[in-house]
Amino acid sequence: MPSDRTSGDRTPIVSGNWKMNNNHFEAIQCVQKLAYLLQKDDFDAVEVTIHPPFTDLRSMQTLIDADQLRLKLGAQNCHPDDKGAFTGEISPVFLAKLGVQYVIVGHSERRESFGENDEFVARKVAAVQKHGMTPILCVGETLAERESGLTLDKVKVQVRSALEKRTSEQVKSMVIAYEPIWAIGTGRNASPEDAQEVIAAIREEVASVVSRPAAQAIRLQYGGSVKAGTIADIMRQPDIDGVLVGGASLDPTEFARIVQYRRHAF
């Protein structure tokens, strides 16, 4: 079900996941430079979210509010429960109080390194929405799964598990990021055509699990070693509504060029 991105309300979204990088001083410098490089037209055309480490969130909230920046504040993770004996975890309640608008859930590094399964990720999706924030649900396959032809099976199961208890209206506001695990931090990435094939299948799965209107409205990102040099070809694909950027988002100049893909893509 390839779709016309320009015909609906699917504003392109570019998200920067800083992972475990940038202390709060470095984060302030990074955001100030990024805000200087981006223009009003960029923010009018593309929604830009930044996802710093938890220790940076208060500084980022203060900076964004004080300077009236149009960047959207995001978090990298949260626990599905509001409170409890979960040492080292972060409640979604805390994030909402800090003005966080987007939360990454189910990132492959959380699934692979910390053993987060589909059921746990689905609980996080529900928790994020419960507190008025938007989940960026990550799905993707390993290299072994890809080479075995299991890519679509893997991502469909992940999508179905996360969405089957969500209403159509809840799903419409979500973001799903397809991030092939084998492409993250490796310098390798899926070709734009391969990414489009998987992302189109994700949209079809959303239609099957939830509804066709939800599938048309939900925004779908590609993530996996995205660079300024590859963004134009990625964003030409009809079902790709944005990108989830890792390492390149740590460089304000490179990240700004990714946000400004329109100058080169069409």
Residues marked active site are found at: 107, 179
The CA-based angle 259-261-266, given to 5 degrees, is: 150
Q: Please list the alpha-helical segments (H only) found in 50-105.
A: 57-66, 92-97
Task: Tell me the Cα Rg of the chain.
Answer: 17
Q: How many C-beta atoms surround the C-beta of residue 157 within 10 A?
A: 14
Task: Give Cβ neighbours of residue 21 (< 8 Å, ≥ 6 apart).
Answer: 53, 250
Instruction: Say how far apart CA 161 and CA 157 lie, in whole Å.
Output: 6
Burial call 207-233: b when 16+ CB within 10 Å, e when fewer? bebbbeebbbbbbbbbbbbbbbebbbb
What region does 22 belong to: left with phi over 0, alpha with psi -120 to 50, or beta?
A: left
Q: Is 51 helix (H, G, I), strand (E, B) or coil?
A: strand
Instruction: Say how far apart CA 237 and CA 191 lie, in whole Å.
Output: 11
Instruction: Say how far apart CA 102 and CA 48 lie, in whole Å.
Output: 11
